[in-house]
Amino acid sequence: MIIQIPVISLVFFLLMALIVPLFKRRNFAVTTTLGLIVLLIVWVLTVVLVRDVYLNGPFTYAFGNHESFIGLELLVNLFSAGFALFMLSLIIIIYVYSTSDATEGIAEKEYGRYYILLFILLFAMFGILYTNDLFNTYVFMEILSITTVSIISIKRKKENYTASFRYVMLNEVGSLSYLFGVALLFMVTGHTNIDLVAASIQSSFDDYTANIVTALGFMLTGIGIKAAIFPFHIWLPDAHSTAPTSSSAILSGLVVKLYILIMIKMLFRLFGFDIVSAMNIHIVLMMIGAFGMIMGSVFAIGQTDVKRMLGYSSIAQVGYIVLGISLGTVLGLQAAFFHVLSHGLMKAALFLSVGAVIYHKGVRKVKDFNGMASEMPVVMTVFGLAALGMIGIPLTSGFISKLNLGLASLDANQGYLIIIIIVSGLLNALYYLPILIAAFLKSNKPGDLGLKVEPIPRLMMVPIVVLGLLIVYFGLFPNMILSWFEEIAVVLL
Amino acid sequence: MIFRKNKVCDVPGLTKNVGFWSNFTVRSTLLVVLSMMIVGLFIAGVQGYLVGLSSFLTNIDVIYNVYVSLRDLSWMPLVIISLPLFGVLLSWLVEKHSCNRRDMLVILMTSFTILMSLFLYPNALEGGQTFNIPGVLGLGLSFRVDMLGFTMLMITSVLWFLVMVYAHEYMLKERHSSRFFVFMGITYSSVLGTIMAGDLLTVFLFFEVMTFASYMLVVHGQKDDSYHAGYNYIFMGIIGGFAILIAVMLLYFTVGDLSFASAIHALNEAGNIKFVIIGLLIFGFGIKAGMAPVHVWLPRAHPVAPTPASALLSGIMIKLGAYGILRVATSYYFPQEGADFSAPVWLTSNAVGSSVIWLGIITMTIGVFFALQQSNIKRMLAYHSISQMGYIMMGIGVALYLGSYGAMGYAGALYHIINHALFKSLLFMVAGVVIYHTGEANMYKLGGLWKKLPLSATVCLIAALGISGIPLFNGFVSKTILHHGIVEAYEYHGQMSMVFAERIFIVISAGTVASFIKLFYFVFLRKPDQPHQLNPEYNNLDTAMAMVALLIIFIGLNPNFILNAFIIPQLNMMPYSPTFVDTYIVGMSVFTYDDLTIMIWIVLLGGLIFYFGNKFHLFHIKLPYWLNLEYLVFYPVNVLIRKSCHLMYGDQCKYNAVTLQKLALKDNKDIGFLDRFVLMASIFNNRYEKRIIKSDAFIYTIFITGILTFMLVMRLL
Amino acid sequence: MNDIIIKTVVRLIIPFVQIYGIYIILHGHISPGGGFAGGALIGTSLVLYTLVFGIEKSKEKFSERVSEFAESGGIILYIAIGLIGLFVSGSFLTNIDSGFPVGHPGTVISGGMIPLLMIGIGIKVASTIITLFHALIEEEEA
């Protein structure tokens, strides 16, 4: 029964997406509550799945009981199940937030559409994580792209259209690039199943070098575009500046990470790190990661809109993860995974708090944040915690990921990367600290103000506080999660 | 977060007919006297002086059991760290009633902290218990209080207690006093944590917390120059923190264990990286310690902070920088047991030590030179802090340089830390009193205050005599020990440069004397241009200052007390040669003929400097604006970018003169290094961002072509 | 359009187009085509109806409510068939082992569950095409 859980989760999500239109005439709270119930059920099922995989090892699930070379296969190991659990938890938190953020630009009757898209997005995410087939990954990737662009441009505003059009175009180029890579691999190996292709590549690498090399290049570029890695990051800030808050949080915190996980799967399971390092791809990735870390922050410094600034900050943080991957050691992958977790939490916290500020005060520009903390203390505290985490101050999870990344780069004999990591942390400080200082200190009103908790709905406040607590928790006690990540990394390598 | 309405606090003068025992000042005075007595008795008791009393007390079973359980409590460091935080929580509850209760609570908590930390003394005499918390923050935290830590702990808690007594009165005239006390409490916790830490990661954690908490203290006034000073302070603090972080990573990778134990063998095997590590650590801790050339935040931060915060910043927090360097250098870079003086295991320490000595000397010089130029009292005291930290750094340098014979430098540095904490905080307190009563901080506009503020004038005189190093006051002892140290540096290694070091040492001491003659003359003695109207009455400010002054005099008259109780036990724990310690330090007498004569020369020289400086107006030199460090770095870069922009775009260059003018301001007090960087980044963004966004397809094509050719080329090679 | 000739001709043709579409759907596992192509045909027939008779009459024939049910129903059918496979023989979308009639290869009743899936897909594609067309037309008018 447990082996059915991945499929059941997918089915649940799809069914939920289909049921939402049927509730159009009722009170909207019914829909959201039902959605929450479905999410919680799937969460419990995934926990059971993770426990089972942890104790009994990975398993594969073939659709229709077909053989792997003609059928569709799901691979459930600690990597997929663990990250599925993480992403689901984060989605639940963001979902709870989004149920009360009704009026941020989305028209009332389109509100149900938002949730349909959200559930299909979850369906696609789980599909990508579990699948063991290259072409199936492509299909789910397309579904994910379309739903993501839809939840971003769901507000009907003029400036949305250019940004979403550019997003769609670039993502399509990315997907097609990936598909081209898959086609080349199919040409060489005759399979699309990842395990079979990997075995075949190992044996036929010397004969068909050009094919495999080209395939790797195209796939890498394609996924790089979709993961907002440095030279291809162009669509991300525009997408953020016009999206509703929970969509921004999902995009920056989860979707981008998902593509990086695909890249990890591709580099380590499909091609194997030996081939990748023989072609010096890891050096290319290292350089991209380093540049991304620095340039992302440099671009963020001059921004006036907070959401765009957070978008550029995401690009910088994705650079960290790519750097960790490119080291190619267990420690490097472990640090990269931890940063996936920690950046997801921190970026979601940042976006959600900014969303609360926009909801309550209606301001988005950096210079309007003066004295914000006296009116919205809890939200700005969580914002402050997350910002300190981005900079890398101890007691937050961001510090742990920086520390581990530094130790990993030392371990891989690339000690000079530490300088880049630290410089990037300083650049982060350059644009986060002024907001914090302005919010907490530069009060507009003369005299002191009494302590009050800001009047935003509790469903908005609770997720933000939960995220803040998680950031501090993982900053203090990271070792359990780190050991899990180490197990995953060992298997991958 | 905790921004409360300003409650109407009990203002002195409004409280009429309050009984003698419920007057705040009286109660706090009694508390101060009581605490000091307890401290003195405890230390004397453990040292074995009051045998009768201690044997009587230990025979009472209840007292003895409580004593033993508290003494052996291994997680006592955590208790001590959480005491101020607990006090913050309680004061938040009490605050609803009155300010006085909150302040009394703060004072009680700090005196309780002194009491609790006394229980660490017996274990510290034997090297301290280690308390590990594994798993937190990835690598685990640990706490260990040995004698060095205990000395710092003592001086910190005593001084913090007295400054809190002072702060009650001072903060009655300031706004947001509740926020001030909250962050004061958090800073106190983090300072205690840094001192009691047993490995470098714990130090780093508390160091960062301290940077952020003390930022809130610096920026308390919320005026424009507060923000500028705070911006500078926090960025240099973060940069220092990151330098320490890099060193932590390198150290963990090289040695594998971050706790403060000898690691010289592992470090020697790693080659040159040990110099990188110690360089980073000196840089990082040196920023906090106000070491030149990264001292620039100090003269900006101290004048804008409220006086209790300045007193503690100068008195304790910059010492943590020196403490950090001392701890790191003497733990990781010293061998486990004392090797012979010329053994090769000391070579690293020698090299590091000589550079630290010279850093100290440069710091001293810069400090005194700029101090003589200042007119703002607090700014002058800030520069003197820099200069005295230079003394301490020099002492640390000697401790490292002389290998197993470096005990004199170590003792001098530690003693000077204690002394400087006392007299510098006292000087700041006096400055605060002057500002509190007259509202004026420029010493050229003050004068003749000795009549109105006799107690303040007396304690200022005591502190000035202390910092100048006059015999019978505490500064004399530590400066003499430091002087012995620098002389030994020449004697044992024979390097000529150390002779120059010693000469500079003497000149700087004379400069210090001159500067304080200047201060005392202008503020207290001379006839003012217009007399000030003051009606001071005895309050907490005076209590605190009087107590510190008494401590100064006590140490001055009994120099060996500190040596025997605190310093010599620590020296015995370290790998310094025991014969050296026994010969030269135990029972050292500072009142020798040579030292006293040198002192007389210094005083005479100082008087001459003051006289001539005053006559020829040498105290008003302003350096040309372009000598500023930031300007030197940034202006060429700007010119380069502007020229290349003109080259590429001709007249279309959007790099218009206005923005550039802002970047290359002649008045660079307003814009600092980081602001310029931010402005440049904004210009870059505005100009190029849209272009980059529009050329996305181009980038994609170039990249994929590039990656394919790269891979093919690599494969075919 | 008001031309009577076009309206009459279209009224005659549409049923044949739809039958042809259904034929392609049902023979999806035997001949080229299948759910997507057949559904597109049916959808196109409805688009033709809209073009000729106007959007209001088209909406009477194929209202939003119907399209909702059609779209959801198509997928629910697909999932239900898959779940049958899951419950009966342990894997999603299992074909022969779940007991779907196998029949002889080459006839309509063969291939297990595939014709049923095709029906679901066909309904969904047709409904999607007509809904999209309606949305585009309404955009232009608005």
B654-675 pLDDT, tens digit each: 444 444 445 444 344 444 566 6
> B235 in contact with A at a CB cutoff of 8 Å?
yes
Domain endpoint, select from B563, B588, B615: B615
Q: Tell me which of B48 and B198 has the higher pLDDT.
A: B198
Q: Give CA separation, A438 vs A443, B300, B359, B691, in Å.
A: 8, 20, 37, 31
Task: Say whether A302 and B230 touch across the interface (CB within 8 A).
Answer: no
Q: Do chains C and A touch (3 or more CB pairs under 8 A)?
A: yes
Question: In this structure, what token pair is assigned to residue A259?
Answer: 């593509």
Find chain A residues with C-beta within 8 A of C64's C-beta: none
CA distance C61 to C53: 11
CA distance A232 to B697: 9
Task: Say whether B234 and A225 touch across the interface (CB within 8 A).
Answer: no
Alpha-carbon gap: C37 to the closest alpha carbon of chain A (Å): 19
Nearest residue in A to B246, CA atom: A418
- Compute the mean pLDDT over every residue in chain B, rounded to the nearest whole number: 78
> B4 in contact with A at a CB cutoff of 8 Å?
yes
Instruction: Tell me the range of A259-268, B258-267, B366-375 where mean pLDDT is highest.
Output: A259-268
pLDDT in tens, C82-132: 888 888 777 777 777 767 777 777 777 777 788 888 888 999 999 999 888
Q: Do residues B234 and B357 share a domain?
A: yes
Task: Say whether A18 and C72 touch across the interface (CB within 8 A).
Answer: yes
Q: Tell me which of B636 and C56 has the higher pLDDT.
A: C56
Nearest by CB to residue C92, choosing from A15, A19, A63, is A63
Nearest by CB to residue A448, choosing from B176, B692, B714, is B176
Q: Do chains A and B touch (3 or more CB pairs under 8 A)?
A: yes
Chain B residues 623-682 with a CB less than 8 Å from chain A: 674, 677-678, 681-682
Task: Say whether A64 and C95 touch across the interface (CB within 8 A).
Answer: yes
Q: What is the arithmetic mean of pLDDT over B250-277?
A: 81
Nearest by CB to residue A231, choosing from B248, B683, B703, is B703
Find chain C residues with C-beta within 8 A of A64's C-beta: 85, 91-95
pLDDT in tens, B537-587: 666 777 788 888 888 888 888 777 777 778 777 777 777 777 777 777 776
Task: Say whether A64 and C68 touch across the interface (CB within 8 A).
Answer: no
Q: What pLDDT, on a 0 to 100 scale, did the predictor assign at position A234? A: 83
Alpha-carbon gap: B167 to the closest alpha carbon of chain A (Å): 20
Question: Which CB contacts under 8 angstroms, 24+ apart, belong to C30-34?
Answer: C30/C106, C30/C107, C30/C108, C30/C110, C30/C111, C34/C118, C34/C121
Alpha-carbon gap: C54 to the closest alpha carbon of chain A (Å): 26
pLDDT in tens, chain A (493 residues): 778 888 888 888 988 888 887 777 777 778 888 889 999 999 999 999 999 888 888 888 888 777 777 778 888 888 898 899 999 999 999 999 888 775 566 666 677 788 888 999 999 999 999 998 899 999 999 999 999 988 888 877 777 777 888 888 888 989 999 999 999 999 888 888 888 888 888 888 888 877 888 888 899 889 998 998 888 888 888 888 878 888 888 988 899 999 999 999 888 888 888 888 887 888 888 988 998 898 888 888 878 888 889 999 999 999 999 999 998 888 899 999 999 999 999 999 999 999 888 888 877 788 788 877 777 888 888 999 999 999 989 889 999 999 999 999 988 888 788 999 998 998 888 889 888 888 887 765 544 444 556 677 778 888 999 999 999 999 888 888 888 888 888 887 7
Mutate to test the interface with B, among A240, A329, A393 (most CBs of B within 10 A): A393
Instruction: Tell me the range of A80-89, B170-179, B291-300 where mean pLDDT is highest.
Output: A80-89
> B84 in contact with A at a CB cutoff of 8 Å?
no
Complex ipTM, two decimals?
0.90
For the cut 90, the answer to whether the pLDDT of residue C58 exceeds it is no
Nearest residue in A to C69, CA atom: A22
Chain A partners (3+ C-beta pairs within 8 A): B, C
Alpha-carbon gap: C72 to the closest alpha carbon of chain A (Å): 6
Task: Say whether B700 and A210 touch across the interface (CB within 8 A).
Answer: no
* Domains contained in chain B, number: 2
Mutate to test the interface with C, among A24, A65, A113, A150 (most CBs of C within 10 A): A65
Would you say B528 and B17 are in contact if contact means Cβ atoms under 8 Å apart? no
User: What pTM does this model have?
Assistant: 0.87
Nearest by CB to residue B678, choosing from A177, A279, A301, is A301
Q: What pLDDT, on a 0 to 100 scale, did the predictor assign at position A337? A: 93
Mutate to test the interface with A, among C75, C93, C123 (most CBs of A within 10 A): C93
Identify which of A335, A194, A196 has the alpha carbon closest to the alpha carbon of residue A265. Answer: A194
Task: Say whether B137 and A476 touch across the interface (CB within 8 A).
Answer: yes
Q: What is the arithmetic mean of pLDDT over B701-717?
A: 75
CA distance B521 to A309: 55
Query: Helices B696-716 & B673-694, crossing angle to 10 degrees?
Result: 90
Total count of residues recorded for chain C: 142
> B209 in contact with A at a CB cutoff of 8 Å?
yes
Considering the domain boundaries, does residue B3 fall inside one?
A: no
CA distance A7 to A61: 9
* Domains contained in chain C, number: 1
Would you say A68 and A62 are in contact if contact means Cβ atoms under 8 Å apart? yes
Q: Give CA separation, A416 vs A286, A421, B171, in Å.
A: 12, 9, 48
Q: What pLDDT, on a 0 to 100 scale, did the predictor assign at position B621? A: 61
Q: Do residues B69 and B97 share a domain?
A: yes
Would you say A108 and A153 are in contact if contact means Cβ atoms under 8 Å apart? no
CA distance B208 to A4: 49
Q: What pLDDT, on a 0 to 100 scale, did the predictor assign at position A449? A: 44
Find chain B residues with C-beta within 8 A of A394's C-beta: 137, 204-205, 208-209
For the cut 80, the answer to whether the pLDDT of residue B186 exceeds it is yes
Chain C residues 13-72 with a CB less than 8 Å from chain A: 68, 71-72
For the cut 50, the answer to whether the pLDDT of residue B382 exceeds it is yes
Alpha-carbon gap: C121 to the closest alpha carbon of chain A (Å): 15
Alpha-carbon gap: B543 to the closest alpha carbon of chain A (Å): 31
The domain in which residue B654 lies consists of: 625-716
Q: Tell me which of B10 and A132 has the higher pLDDT.
A: A132
Mutate to test the interface with B, among A445, A479, A481, A483 (most CBs of B within 10 A): A479
Phi, psi of A305, rounded to the nearest 5 degrees: -95, 130
Residue C41: pLDDT band with limits 50, 70, 90:
very high
Q: What pLDDT, on a 0 to 100 scale, did the predictor assign at position C140? A: 64
Considering the domain boundaries, does residue B76 fall inside one?
A: yes
Residue A175 φ/ψ region, left for φ over 0, alpha for ψ in the -120 to 50 degree band, beta for the rest: alpha
Q: Do residues B707 and B675 share a domain?
A: yes
Q: Tell me which of B159 and B679 has the higher pLDDT.
A: B159
Q: Tell me which of A157 and B437 has the higher pLDDT.
A: B437
Considering the domain boundaries, does residue B534 fall inside one?
A: yes
Q: What pLDDT, on a 0 to 100 scale, did the predictor assign at position B2? A: 40
Would you say C61 and C126 are in contact if contact means Cβ atoms under 8 Å apart? no
Cis peptide bond upstream of B293, omega within 30: yes
Q: Tell me which of B688 and B596 has the higher pLDDT.
A: B596
Question: In this structure, what token pair is assigned to residue C123?
Answer: 């309904």
Task: Say whether B222 and A442 touch across the interface (CB within 8 A).
Answer: yes
Nearest by CB to residue A63, choosing from C72, C83, C93, is C93
Residue C111 φ/ψ region, left for φ over 0, alpha for ψ in the -120 to 50 degree band, beta for the rest: left
Domain endpoint, select from B615, B637, B661: B615
Task: Say whether A301 and B208 touch across the interface (CB within 8 A).
Answer: no
Total count of residues recorded for chain A: 493
Q: What pLDDT, on a 0 to 100 scale, did the predictor assign at position B5? A: 45
Alpha-carbon gap: A123 to the closest alpha carbon of chain B (Å): 30
Task: Say whether A65 and C72 touch across the interface (CB within 8 A).
Answer: no
Considering the domain boundaries, does residue B355 fall inside one?
A: yes
Nearest by CB to residue C94, choosing from A15, A19, A64, is A64
Q: Do residues B378 and B500 share a domain?
A: yes
Q: What is the arithmetic mean of pLDDT over B73-86?
A: 85
Q: Output the CA angle A380-A385-A387, nearest 5 degrees.
A: 90
Please tell me the least confidently modeled range out of B310-324, B365-379, B628-642. B628-642
Would you say A133 and A192 are in contact if contact means Cβ atoms under 8 Å apart? yes
Q: Do residues B569 and B667 share a domain?
A: no
Find chain C residues with C-beta within 8 A of A14's C-beta: 75, 79
Alpha-carbon gap: A16 to the closest alpha carbon of chain B (Å): 37
Q: What pLDDT, on a 0 to 100 scale, did the predictor assign at position B533? A: 66
DSSP string, B608-669: HHHHHHHHTTGGG----GGG-HHHHHHHHHHHHHHHHHHHHHGGG----HHHHHHHT-S-TT
Find chain A residues with C-beta within 8 A of C89's C-beta: 65
Q: What pLDDT, on a 0 to 100 scale, did the predictor assign at position A368? A: 80
Task: Say whether C72 and A7 touch across the interface (CB within 8 A).
Answer: no
Residue B241: pLDDT band with limits 50, 70, 90:
very high
Separation of first and last alpha carbons in chain C: 20
Q: What pLDDT, on a 0 to 100 scale, did the predictor assign at position B4? A: 42
The domain in which residue C132 lies consists of: 4-141
Nearest by CB to residue B707, choosing from A284, A407, A448, is A284
Domain residue ranges in chain A:
290-493
